[in-house]
Structure 1
Amino acid sequence: MRKDSRLSRVLHVLVHLEMTDQPVTSDKMAEMLFTNPVVVRRTMALLRNQGFVRSTKGHNGGWSLAKPLNNITLLDIHKALGETSVFTIGLTDEHTNCPIEHSVNAALKDVMNEAEGLMLERFGEITLDVLGKEFKK
């Protein structure tokens, strides 16, 4: 199963944006993240829609922060990305009539919901400025 690394990749980009004095292009971000610029633009558009970043067109254009990182939490970014779960593991639904599957799913669901609730609560307490403190210019 492939891990969803969008949250960590976006956090990486946001810390870089904090440390630069000029907008960063989608091409440059894509190069940094080993991905396609179209993927970067789509992802950054989600953040722009929530007011976390802005984009400028033309020569010397690109992406920049619209808010200081100390006003953005991990939870804000998680929500902006449209993430439904912090876990990439899921419940099985291949044998919907099987009582064992129902029992296993019920046990996993309770544990995963509790863990996710605690994780999201903690996400809401962590602002992004702490992520790059050791790298400040």
Structure 2
Amino acid sequence: MKQNSQLSDVLHVLLHMAESETPLTSETLALAMQTHPVVLRRLMGGLREAGFVGSARGHGGGWVLTCSLDQVTLRDVHEALGAPALVSLGFREDRPECLVAQAVNDALSGAVQAAEAALLQRLDGVTLATLSRDFHQRLLARGAHPHRPEEHLHDPH
């Protein structure tokens, strides 16, 4: 089963945007996500509605952050994406008549709900500013120039 990487992808894009002094096009951001610009624009819609990003068309246009990094948590971003399931666990039967299946589903469902609640609480304690600081610390540890982080955003090493 393919894992949903929307939250990770969007956080990646938001950090790219935070490091840019100019608007970034859908094509540029899609390249960072290794996806198609249409997919990127679809994901950015919820972020725009939440007031985290804005966009302008035409020459010099593109996506920009419209929020303060220290005011937006990872949970906020998750919710702007429509709050997709963070934990996915398949059940053998959706509406089981079998009492054994009912017991198994109840136990698994409870575990999934507890895991989701714990993850949401953790996401609520991390801001975009926290991620940005971590990125900058990693740049410094690598010996990169702290005032030109854009030079190292795509560096896989």
Matched with 1:112 is: 112
Aligned length: 137
Name the Cα RMSD after superposition. Answer: 1.4
- Is 1:93 aligned to residue 100 of structure 2? no
C-alpha distance in structure 1 between counterparts of 2:84 and 2:10, whole Å: 16
Q: Which moved more, 1:7-16 or 1:82-91?
A: 82-91
C-alpha distance in structure 1 between counterparts of 2:92 and 2:23, whole Å: 44
Q: Which moved more, 1:121-130 or 1:16-25?
A: 121-130
Q: Which runs of 5+ in 2 are unaligned?
A: 137-146, 148-157
- Is 1:17 aligned to residue 12 of structure 2? no
Question: 1:7 touches 1:81 (CA, 8 Å); kept in 2?
Answer: yes
Q: Percent identity between the aligned chains?
A: 40
Q: How far off its partner does 1:90 sit?
A: 3.3
Matched with 1:80 is: 80
Compare CA radii of gyration and give the structure with the larger one: 2
Question: 2:24 touches 2:61 (CA, 8 Å); kept in 1?
Answer: yes
Question: 2:91 touches 2:105 (CA, 8 Å); kept in 1?
Answer: yes
| Matched AA of 2:123 | F
Cα 1:81–1:111, aligned 2, differ >3 Å: closer, same or farther? same
Q: Which runs of 5+ in 1 are unaligned?
A: none
Superposition map of 1:1-137 within 5 A: 1-94=1-94, 96-136=96-136, 137=147
| Matched AA of 1:33 | M
Deviations, residues 93-131 of structure 1 (Å, cap 9, x unaligned): 356212221111111111111121111112111111111
The normalised TM-score by structure 2 is: 0.82
Question: 1:53 touches 1:63 (CA, 8 Å); kept in 2?
Answer: yes
**DSSP 3-state at the match of 1:132:** helix
**DSSP 3-state at the match of 1:88:** coil
